[in-house]
Amino acid sequence: MGKKKSSKNTPPVTLNTQGQAFDYKKLAEAIVHAQQEAEVLRKNEQEKLSGEQQQEWLNVLGQKTYTNENCITKILHRWRNNIVAFFKIMFLSRKEAQGDKATFGILQFALALLFSSIRLLIFLLTIGLVVAGIYSFEQKAFAFSLIPLLYALPSIMLGRIFRIAGFEIEKMTDRNYLLSILSAVIALIAMILALVALFVR
């Protein structure tokens, strides 16, 4: 019987290219660096495209930018842009409609309105909890008066988070990200309504 070769203390296998050992660490660093550069280029292209679409939409609405403005001319120019934009939107022809800025604006407004509605409901819930705590305190139920007040603080924090999320939605420019958030929120609301309907029955 042949002797079994020992597998202990086996040196690592390396590839030799022209007499030099292949450095896997440098290869991994090069791959990571290339991925980072590709991500930066993608973001730059996306920002450039978004800026071009924004400028194109402003041109469609007849918006003009002015330099060397004082307080009075700034107000007059703002009124001018608002009036021109109003009539452009009212009488915009099919040929002048370019891009998807209006569609994106509607989706952005819908999601911001949804977050504002949730924030309003949380605000009303907070008021109800505070009123319940004060009422329990007046009825000398001191132990029960602390429970609504303890729940009021997290609800206030949650409402402020939705307020910040509304600000972020207004500044969002990534259409795919906005659509994914809108789809997730709609799915969550549908699931909550289905669970409520199930328990109500």
Rounded distance between C-alpha atoms, residue 3 and residue 137, angstroms: 87
Instruction: Using alpha carbons, list the distances in angstroms from residue 35 to 28, 43, 112, 127, 134.
Output: 11, 12, 33, 50, 58
Read off the pLDDT of residues 104-158 as tens digits, 9 standing for 90 and up: 778 888 888 888 888 888 888 888 888 888 877 777 766 666 777 777 888 888 8
Domains of the chain by residue range: 24-90, 101-200
Read off the pLDDT of residues 39-69 as tens digits, 9 standing for 90 and up: 888 888 877 777 777 777 777 777 777 777 7
Read off the pLDDT of residues 70-79 as tens digits, 9 standing for 90 and up: 788 888 888 8
pTM for this structure?
0.55
**Per-residue model confidence (pLDDT) at position 15:** 47
Beta bridge partners of 20: 17
Closest by CA to 173, choosing from 59, 89, 53, 42, is 53
Q: In the predicted model, what is the mean pLDDT of residues 152-166?
A: 86
**Per-residue model confidence (pLDDT) at position 1:** 46
Token pair for 111: 């999601």
Identify the three-state secondary structure at position 77. Answer: helix
pLDDT band at 103 (very low <50, low <70, confident <90, very high): confident
Rounded distance between C-alpha atoms, residue 178 and residue 185, angstroms: 11
Report which residue type is found at 183. Answer: S
Q: Say if residue 194's pLDDT is above 50.
A: yes
Q: In the predicted model, what is the mean pLDDT of residues 35-41?
A: 88
16 membership: H or E segment, kind and range: strand 16-17
pLDDT band at 92 (very low <50, low <70, confident <90, very high): confident
Q: Say if residue 31's pLDDT is above 60.
A: yes
